[in-house]
């Protein structure tokens, strides 16, 4: 080989090293930053500090567990099986391909006494080899495809496959919160879905505005929520407890703050929850509470929010039993008087872009309306 050939070999080798070292450094820096910042982004948000809502933390007192690998329903167990199958096949492919590559790099590297003019033996048009690398990928893709179709058929019901004893919940995505309606129980709630354990739940999923996606990883796969179209999901939670979820389709600037809590109760507890929820809770007494109720009626609150027995708004979350929920603002904030005051004072500061307007209430009016709201249990 000529001098020029040698120089360009060296340049290529150096370029490879630079590429490898840069990749490792950038990747390492990225992981380091993720590690450092990971736990702090939500907590230290300066926008929120201005109003100091207490204990700001997403999804308080629930175990932060949204792993698809820890199924809590027969449906997610099927999904996990498929996940592992796909992982095993692709990991196998990775090991074989990388293994052959590394083997070839070392086995056929240039050695000291190699003649410089000698090229390796060149192979063209080998039928067995070409057939093999055409057929093998087809078989792999076919296996993955069949396994996926089988899983979809198992977990995803069609409209007519509603189980006889199922409880229906209408799930409606809004920017940026979830509405849950129980037509058989005459119950409406927001962001927090209560269901009984060991009973099939029939979800009818839709949207009031843009496309969202309902996803509680431990209980079911993702299901798109479209405006003007119903999608169906069924799931059976096998253990009591709190399950967390998240809108899984980008739907605007507060997409990340469109959280879902699912509370799975035993049949008895669920029965009493549903019974309580179906009753009106508007039983205001006391001066401040009654004044707060007037504030609620006087300003635009009642146009958007329903409180059974008082107002019929459907645009925003139903507040009939507001204080029975642990969070508000799409599951973003712990539900307590201080946070409600900060929210009513200026929602935009907490959740920029949200549809709740700042009604410019006086501090006194805010105190009064919150005094009323906290009675809605
Ligand atoms: Cu709703 Cu993303």
CB–CB of 195/264 below 8 Å?
Answer: yes
Q: How far apart are CA 65 and CA 62, in angstroms?
A: 8
* 7-40: pLDDT as tens digits: 667 788 888 899 899 999 999 998 888 777 654 4
* 298-323: pLDDT as tens digits: 888 888 888 887 788 888 998 888 88
Q: Delimit the domains of the chain by residue range.
A: 1-28, 64-110+126-277, 287-373
6 alpha carbon to ligand 1 midpoint, in Å? 57
Residue 4: per-residue pLDDT: 54
Confidence check: pLDDT of 144 > 90: yes
Confidence check: pLDDT of 58 > 70: no
Q: Look-up: residue for tokens 């979820």?
A: 245
264 alpha carbon to ligand 1 midpoint, in Å? 23
Work out the average pLDDT over 71-84: 92
Work out the average pLDDT over 199-213: 95
Which numbered atom of ligand 1 lies nearest the CA of 173?
1
Closest-CA residue, ligand 1 atom 1, reads 212
Yes or no: domain 287-373 corresponds to CATH 2.60.40.420 = yes
Which of 171, 166, 213 lies closest to 192 in space, CA to CA? 171
Residue 64: per-residue pLDDT: 59
Which numbered atom of ligand 1 lies nearest the CA of 210?
1
56 alpha carbon to ligand 1 midpoint, in Å? 21
Confidence check: pLDDT of 62 > 60: no
Going by pLDDT thresholds of 50, 70 and 90, the confidence category of residue 138 is very high
226 alpha carbon to ligand 1 midpoint, in Å? 11
Q: How far apart are CA 75 and CA 151, in angstroms?
A: 9
Residue 60: per-residue pLDDT: 47
Confidence check: pLDDT of 271 > 70: yes
* 176-185: pLDDT as tens digits: 999 999 999 9
198 alpha carbon to ligand 1 midpoint, in Å? 28
Residue 320: per-residue pLDDT: 86
The C-alpha angle with vertex 269 and arms to 263 and 273, in degrees rounded to 5, equals 75
Which numbered atom of ligand 1 lies nearest the CA of 251?
2
Work out the average pLDDT over 350-361: 86
Binding pocket residue ranges, ligand 1, CB within 6 Å = 173, 176, 212, 247, 249-251, 255, 258
Confidence check: pLDDT of 264 > 80: yes
Going by pLDDT thresholds of 50, 70 and 90, the confidence category of residue 139 is very high
Residue 24: per-residue pLDDT: 93
Which numbered atom of ligand 1 lies nearest the CA of 225?
1
Going by pLDDT thresholds of 50, 70 and 90, the confidence category of residue 361 is confident
Sign of CA dihedral 219, 223, 226, 231: negative
Residue 193: per-residue pLDDT: 94
Residue 292: per-residue pLDDT: 82
CA distances from 65 to 42, 47, 105, 125, 242 (A): 17, 27, 43, 53, 9
192 alpha carbon to ligand 1 midpoint, in Å? 16
Which numbered atom of ligand 1 lies nearest the CA of 255?
2
| CATH value of 64-110+126-277 in 2.60.40.420, 2.40.420.20, 2.30.130.10, 3.40.50.1100 | 2.60.40.420
The answer to whether the 64-110+126-277 and 287-373 domains have the same CATH topology is: yes
E strand segments, the chain? 167-174, 177-182, 187-190, 192-196, 201-207, 212-214, 223-225, 231-235, 241-246, 259-265, 306-307, 311-312, 327-328, 333-334
CB–CB of 141/93 below 8 Å?
Answer: no
Mean pLDDT of the chain: 85
Which numbered atom of ligand 1 lies nearest the CA of 252?
2
- Mutual orientation of helices 337-345 and 363-373 as an angle, nearest 10°? 130
Residue 99: per-residue pLDDT: 96
Burial class of residue 199 in the structure, from the number of CB atoms within 10 Å of its CB (0-12 exposed, 13-18 middle, 19+ buried): middle
Name the pairing type of β-strands 241-246 and 259-265: antiparallel
CB–CB of 364/345 below 8 Å?
Answer: no
pTM score, two decimals? Answer: 0.78
Residue 117: per-residue pLDDT: 66
Residue 300: per-residue pLDDT: 81
Name the pairing type of β-strands 192-196 and 259-265: parallel
Name the pairing type of β-strands 201-207 and 167-174: parallel
Which of 65, 113, 118, 115 lies closest to 244 in space, CA to CA? 65
Q: How far apart are CA 284 and CA 348, in angstroms?
A: 29
Residue 5: per-residue pLDDT: 54
* 215-225: pLDDT as tens digits: 999 999 999 99
85 alpha carbon to ligand 1 midpoint, in Å? 30
Confidence check: pLDDT of 212 > 90: yes
E strand segments, 166-214? 167-174, 177-182, 187-190, 192-196, 201-207, 212-214
CB–CB of 93/140 below 8 Å?
Answer: yes
> Cβ of 356: how many Cβ atoms within 10 Å?
20
Query: What size, in residues, is the chain?
Result: 377
Q: Look-up: residue for tokens 């009654």?
A: 290
């Amino acid at each position: 080989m000529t001098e020029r050939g040698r120089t360009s070999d060296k340049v290529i080798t150096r370029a490879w090293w630079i590429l490898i070292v840069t990749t490792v450094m950038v990747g390492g820096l990225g992981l380091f930053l993720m590690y450092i910042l990971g736990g702090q982004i939500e907590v230290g948000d300066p926008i929120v500090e201005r109003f100091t809502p207490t204990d700001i933390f997403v999804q308080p007192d629930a175990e932060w567990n949204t792993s698809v690998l820890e199924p809590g329903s027969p449906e997610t167990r099927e999904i996990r099986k498929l996940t592992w199958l796909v992982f095993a096949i692709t990991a196998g492919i990775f090991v074989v391909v990388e293994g052959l590559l590394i083997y070839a790099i070392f086995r056929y590297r240039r050695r000291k006494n190699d003649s410089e003019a000698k090229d390796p033996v060149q192979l063209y048009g080998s039928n067995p080899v070409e057939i093999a690398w055409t057929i093998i990928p087809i078989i792999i893709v076919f296996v993955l495809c069949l396994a996926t179709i089988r899983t979809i058929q198992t977990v995803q019901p069609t409209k007519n496959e509603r189980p006889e004893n199922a409880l229906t919940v209408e799930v409606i995505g809004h920017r940026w919160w979830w509405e849950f309606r129980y037509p058989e129980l005459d119950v409406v709630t927001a962001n927090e879905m209560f269901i009984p354990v060991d009973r099939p739940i029939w979800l009818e999923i839709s949207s009031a505005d843009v496309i969202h996606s309902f996803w509680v990883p431990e209980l079911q796969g993702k299901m798109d929520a479209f405006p003007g179209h119903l999608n169906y999901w069924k799931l059976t939670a096998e253990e009591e407890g709190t399950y967390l979820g998240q809108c899984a389709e980008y739907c605007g600037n507060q997409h990340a703050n469109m959280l879902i809590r699912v509370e799975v109760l035993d049949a008895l507890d669920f029965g009493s929850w549903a019974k309580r929820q179906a009753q009106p809770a508007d039983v205001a007494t006391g001066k401040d509470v009654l004044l707060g109720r007037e504030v609620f009626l006087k300003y635009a609150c009642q146009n958007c929010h329903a409180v059974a027995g008082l107002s019929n708004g459907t645009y925003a979350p139903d507040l009939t039993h507001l204080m029975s929920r642990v969070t508000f603002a799409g599951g973003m904030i712990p539900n307590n008087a201080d946070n409600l005051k900060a929210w009513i004072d200026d929602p935009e500061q907490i959740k920029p872009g949200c549809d709740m307007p700042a009604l410019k209430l006086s501090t006194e009016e805010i105190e009064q309306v919150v005094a009323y709201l906290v009675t809605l249990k």
